[in-house]
Structure 1
């Protein structure tokens, strides 16, 4: 049997698919989301603006952004049945497994009834995932049932307040915002 020697090319030159959402290294342009450079977005945009753009096709106006932030804020709460499930997950579980389980349970509690609801489902998950992971983490590690309605207007600030139990500084909010983008 002849052994094939593997080269170091990795996936260079291979296409994993076509998308209008982002490009990676295409023609030397680095990472872009819908044509905007990641560096520019990270330096100048809020995560919620970028999420809106990715889901709805263009950057929002200020009025659209305000409405979107209000919508996401209203979708943050977790059903009691989901909290009960999260409380049963052991503390040494990988966080991705927690999020998968949380998504599955939320999908059972709030099922989509048509394909047209996919953007609504995406908004719900965007709003609920920080609460899912923080509720599980704080309960499994500290025995604390966190309030998933923090009063924070950004997803990054909301995540940090649930995770630590304290209001985050502006610097921490900015760093979290950048990392989410």
Structure 2
């Protein structure tokens, strides 16, 4: 009996220690916790379509798109390496005088040496109605005017667009080849709460 008792104690201690290791494996206390959807105002997911016009103005006295990094001198004909910072108005109609609903803020840069292609990194920051103060973020490749319709992923958002995901379709409404000014129609299809 004397030998069985220490063996039982050792077995019990090892079993208790291994149970503690397994139950704590991969998670530290406080690192992750399940959340109540109601507490965080996460309701049933819905699919919405947003349609607006983006005014990229490189010319004039008050441009909304400003080149901040010129292409290197040994670059290709695509302007590879150049970057433009934007604060472009978003309007309901294609006219700049139509109702402004927000701004496209971010940048785009020439990302290809052989063909015209831009890397687009933008937040659509809404300033009107129910979505005032909320944003949708896109990040993706833009083959430019070589494609009639360009598609970008919607990778997230803020405010009423927390947990948002979807895609954006961009179509050139107007492009001035002399000034570089453009009006782009955007259709966003977004899953959000």
Q: Please, what TM-score do these two structures have when normalized by structure 2?
A: 0.28
Q: Mark the structure with the bigger radius of gyration.
A: 2
Q: Please, what TM-score do these two structures have when normalized by structure 1?
A: 0.29
Q: Which has the higher strand share?
A: 2
